[in-house]
Amino acid sequence: MWAHSKTLVLLVCAIGLFAAPISSAQDLEVMRTFSRPDGAYRVILLRKPMPAAMPGQTGDAPGVVRLYDRAGRLLAQADVEMVQLVESIDWSNDKASIKLVVEWDLSHWPAPTPPPR
């Protein structure tokens, strides 16, 4: 009887470990949005769920930063160890960088021209 219960517990744990990555990809939460002053690009910081987090640990959660152009096309993304590391984006004409996380060369994706007013 004991061996059967132990096997059942191990099976349930194994299923949980495999199911967690599948559900987490769908449960990303938008934490912040950063736009370049001219509106040509924006970066969205998304938090991945933490199954067992204590109150106040939201910033400790891992995340993803995604770079989009004015048309809303996803250009690039990078993983972030902790979302609290992303405080600002340094924009230049040809680069977008997040200290200790990523630097994107925007010349790879020329900004679409803004719609006429």
Of 22-36, 51-65, 71-85, give the lowest mean pLDDT range.
51-65
On whether residue 88 sits in a domain, the answer given is yes
Q: Quick one: which H or E segment has residue 7?
A: helix 2-24
**Segments forming the whole domain that contains residue 38:** 28-49+60-117
Is the residue at 2 inside a domain?
A: no
Asked whether residue 13 is assigned to any structural domain, the reply reads no
Residue 10: left if φ>0, alpha if ψ -120 to 50, beta else—which one? alpha
The tokens for 70 are 């004015």
Structural domain includes residue 40: yes
Domain annotation covers residue 44:
yes
Residue 74 lies in a domain: yes
Strands (E), the chain: 29-35, 41-47, 63-69, 74-80, 90-91, 95-98, 102-105
pLDDT confidence of 86, banded at 50, 70, 90? very high
From CA 33, how far away is CA 42, in angstroms rounded? 7
- Residue 64 within any structural domain of the chain: yes
Evaluate whether residue 90 is within a structural domain: yes
Global pTM reads 0.69
Count of the separate structural domains present in the chain: 1
